[in-house]
Amino acid sequence: MKRRVVAVTACPTGIAHTYMAAEALEKAAREKGIEIRVETRGSVGVENALTQADIEAADAVIIAADAKVDTARFAGKPLVEASVGEAIRDAAKLLDRALAAAAARTAEEPGPTTATAARGATTRRGGTPGGVGEERGEGGAAGPGPLKKSQTHR
């Protein structure tokens, strides 16, 4: 059975790195015999938009972005997040991590998973990052954090 991955690449300016990351992922996938579809979010907007059928058929998802990408449509899919730079430098490694996450998913019981990967990339199930209402204070500690001028502690 051919392995399938979908990916989204995006960077703040969307001029070069978005497309370089997409090309690197496509080349590495071809070399590994992996079927891949890559949605790019560049200066001209979304190109090669992933369909719901593409997402459903995928074994895993890669988000290679230095800009915000809504991951809600990938809910339930193994998801690897990385920078566009990491995708350009080592796309094969990202593909390996995505497929390893897919293999781990089939071996585990249902439930959300989060694992921090090398270089700040994250592997998790698709969905929204963080918890509902979660706030970060100074130093990244969970909690209400410093008050804004318009707020008071209760």
- Average pLDDT of the residues in 55-62: 98
Active-site residue list: 11
Three-state SS annotation for 85-128 = HHHHHHHHHHHHHHHHHHHHHHHCCCCCCEEECHHHCEEEEECC
pTM of the model: 0.71
From residue 25, give the alpha-carbon distance in Å to each of 76, 96, 109.
22, 11, 30
- Average pLDDT of the residues in 67-84: 96
Domains of the chain, with CATH numbers? 4-125 (3.40.50.2300)
pLDDT band of residue 108 (cuts 50, 70, 90) is: low
From residue 86, give the alpha-carbon distance in Å to each of 20, 33, 98, 102, 121.
11, 21, 14, 20, 9
Question: Could you give the angle at the alpha carbon of 27 between the alpha carbons of 29 and 35, nearest 5°?
Answer: 30
**What's the CA gap between 120 and 81, in Å, rounded?**
9
pLDDT band of residue 121 (cuts 50, 70, 90) is: very low
- Average pLDDT of the residues in 3-23: 95
pLDDT band of residue 138 (cuts 50, 70, 90) is: very low
- Region of residue 113 (left: phi > 0; alpha: psi -120 to 50; beta: else): beta
